[in-house]
Amino acid sequence: MKALEIKGLRKTFRSNFMLKKYRVLKGIDLEVERGEIYGFLGPNGAGKTTTIKCVLGLLNADGGEVLVEGRPVAAIDSRRCVGFLPENPYFYDYLTARELLTFAASLFDLPPPAVRERIGALLHRVGLSGREDLKLRKYSKGMIQRLGLAQALINDPDLLILDEPFSGLDPIGRKDMRALIFSLREAGKTVFFSSHILQDMEMMVDRVGIILDGVIRRQGKLSELIARSTQYYEVACTGIAEGRLAQIQSNYAVRDGHYVLTLASDADVNLVVESIIHNDGRIIAVTPVKMTLEDIFFSEMRNGQ
């Protein structure tokens, strides 16, 4: 069973007294495996938050199906195993972290001693021990974000849905958030997080889904998406007369005293390497140059235009 399955999800917003329609989700299909970190990547306005709201039952979709741990989202029961960190969480300024978490826990059926214990453990886990009785207006953005995560974890959910968890965090805050997300996976949780920041995804997700303009354009294991996406090969060589090299392959540069040739396919690599050796040259390296997630993302964006 998948942790989350979305099939053909559609959502249209209407405005101007229903005259104008905005088709925001145009048939989203994605699957999140249990125990993985899934990156939901897309530019501003692509439909990430709208998708998440449909998954949480905060918005009613126009069509399609959402299954959380195999159960349709329409069943309130399906949300018992879900924790949610909203985009830019805002909490009442005059509460303390302990009060906020006590309130969050009260929504679930937990005995008071268990609540106290869990709140202490969660505050420790997100690095807010010692700050639990400070009013939230004195919290920094990073502390609010970490408290939001503690709040999302209060019911010990199996699936965590985090909408832009890195937004507004400085490098240290991002590093902490990354470590927290990794620790959730280690604890066997499934983490689904949205972002438009490619670098964060590249460093941490098992699989990624790229959403553009309300459609999932690519989905897969990050390693496979990137492995399948070798852009070109570089062959570094030396010892061959430049005139001979130019006859073999005109597309070359001189780098660090070597010739570096750029080739499109592995078949070309084989032919060129043979010719270089045949002409008394020496091969120093053959390097496949892979696309980064950023290259994949931008090539999808270009294709969509």
Per CB under 6 A, does 60 bind ligand ATP?
no
Residue number with CB closer to ligand ATP (42 or 157)? 42
Cα–Cα distance between 162 and 150 in angstroms, integer? 12
| Kind plus residue range of the DSSP H or E element containing 191 | strand 190-195
| Kind plus residue range of the DSSP H or E element containing 232 | strand 230-238
Strand partners, 190: 159
Cα–Cα distance between 81 and 157 in angstroms, integer? 4
> Shortest distance, CB of residue 48 to Mg ion, whole angstroms?
5
Number of amino acids touching Mg ion (CB under 5 A) = 3
Per CB under 6 A, does 13 bind ligand ATP?
yes
Q: Which two tokens stand for residue 257?
A: 């005293």
Q: Strand, coil or helix: what is 74?
A: coil
Cα–Cα distance between 101 and 108 in angstroms, integer? 11
The span of 40-48, 218-226, 275-283, 284-292 binding ligand ATP (CB under 6 A) equals 40-48
Selected from 21, 45, 114, 183, the binder of ligand ATP by CB under 6 A is: 45
Selected from 4, 6, 28, 47, the binder of ligand ATP by CB under 6 A is: 47
Selected from 4, 9, 28, 48, the binder of ligand ATP by CB under 6 A is: 48
Answer whether 124's CB lies under 8 Å from 74's CB: no
Residue number with CB closer to Mg ion (65 or 87)? 87
Cα–Cα distance between 148 and 180 in angstroms, integer? 12
| Residue list 120-179, contact with ligand ATP (CB under 6 A) | none
195 phi-psi bin (left φ>0, alpha ψ -120 to 50, beta other): beta
Selected from 37, 50, 101, 147, the binder of ligand ATP by CB under 6 A is: 50
> Shortest distance, CB of residue 196 to ligand ATP, whole angstroms?
5
Would you tell me which residues interact with Mg ion (CB under 5 A)? Answer: 48-49, 87
Would you tell me which residues interact with ligand ATP (CB under 6 A)? Answer: 13, 15, 22, 24, 42, 44-50, 87, 196
